[in-house]
Amino acid sequence: MFIGKSSEAWRDEQREKAVIDSLKEIMPVHYRYFAFLDVGKIRDRSCLAICREVHDRKIDMKTCELVYLRPLKLGVSYIDQAAGVRDLLDNELFELWPLTFMIDAGGPGEVLADVCQRMGMKPMRTIITGGNESTMKNGRLKVPRNVLFQTLMKYLIRPDFRIAGDLPFFDELQAELVMLTPGYGNNGAFYINSGAHDDLAISVAGAVFGYARHGRSRQGVTTLY
């Protein structure tokens, strides 16, 4: 049984998909995208970052690039925020190449995740926690803030990770990254301090963590639309 479309339309869709898949097989470079939406709380703004994995199949080498970074307009409702994200991500690029869409679902972020889901998106709900261990349970990824920033700091010094200098909000991101400083608590636990504002940095860290996590395991990877 086909819901929302005729059997003929479904067959046409499957034929088109088969053609696209066959074309992708002969392409020398493949892509995969990882998006993270950091949800603003009260006076904070929401920020969206997107990283792209570039797989050069000729030499079997993968690199990661930060290709999109932008804060959402402050004071906009969650419905309008979700609509803006949907309009950005609902395009032919992400129909051709896989996209993992992660959303900060802690506190009010759960509401925004619900709205995104009702609009047809499939967000991976991510809870930013304390501690130093990430877990996946009941469809929710729990990842410590320390782990996000540690992962980002590791990739910032790797030659296979790139951030374009002409990327919008690059200077602001750079200022936030400079404020990331490692330290140890009274109990000896390792942590990373951030500045008063780290919304851009945390969104980039989330996207990079999604990329790094995919490299270790495909568990929990979702596709949008």
Q: What CATH number does the domain containing 126 carry?
A: 3.30.420.240
**Number of domains, the chain:** 1
Determine the pLDDT at residue 26.
67
Does residue 223 form part of some domain? no
| Token pair listed for 182 | 């490692």
107 neighbors 71 (Cβ within 8 angstroms): no
Position 221 in a domain:
no
Residue positions counted in the chain: 225
Whether 20 is in a domain gets the answer: no
Work out the mean pLDDT of the chain and round it to a whole number. Answer: 83
Positive or negative, the Cα torsion across 212, 215, 220, 223?
A: positive
Is 23 inside a domain boundary? no
Query: Which region among 11-15, 98-102, 134-138 has the lowest average model confidence (pLDDT)?
Result: 11-15
- Decide if 10 is inside a domain: no
Indicate if the pLDDT at residue 166 is higher than 90: no
Cα(145)–Cα(190) distance, integer angstroms:
12
Q: Specify the pLDDT at position 225.
A: 25
Q: Kindly report the pTM of this predicted structure.
A: 0.81
Confidence of residue 139 (pLDDT cuts 50, 70, 90): confident
The whole-number pLDDT of residue 223 equals 31
Residue 130 lies in a domain: yes
User: Is residue 47 assigned to a domain?
Assistant: yes
In a domain, 6, yes or no: no
Residue 47 near residue 201 (C-beta atoms within 8 A): no
Classify burial at 126, counting beta carbons within 10 Å of its beta carbon; exposed 0-12, middle 13-18, buried 19 or more: buried
CA atoms of 28 and 56, how far apart (whole Å) = 6
Residue 188 has pLDDT above 60, yes or no: no
Q: What b/e sequence results for 108-122 when a residue is b if at least 16 CB atoms lie within 10 Å of its CB, and e otherwise?
A: ebbebbebbeeeebe
Give percent above pLDDT 70 in the chain.
80
- Range 76-88 average pLDDT: 91
Residue 6 scores a pLDDT above 80: no
Highest mean predicted confidence (pLDDT) among 16-30, 120-134, 199-213: 199-213
Question: Distance (Å, rounded) from C-alpha 85 to C-alpha 50?
Answer: 12
Domain holding 107, by residue range, is 29-216
Average pLDDT for 92-97: 82
Residue 10's pLDDT band (cuts 50, 70, 90) = low
C-alpha to C-alpha distance for 223 and 108, rounded to whole angstroms: 23
Tell me the C-alpha distance between 118 and 116, whole Å: 5
Query: What gap in Å lies between CA 223 and CA 225, rounded to an integer?
Result: 6
- Cβ atoms within 10 Å of 158's Cβ, excluding its own: 10
What span, in angstroms and rounded, lies between the C-alpha atoms of 43 and 75?
8
Choose among 20, 26, 54, 34: nearest CA to 206. 34
What is the pLDDT at residue 169?
93
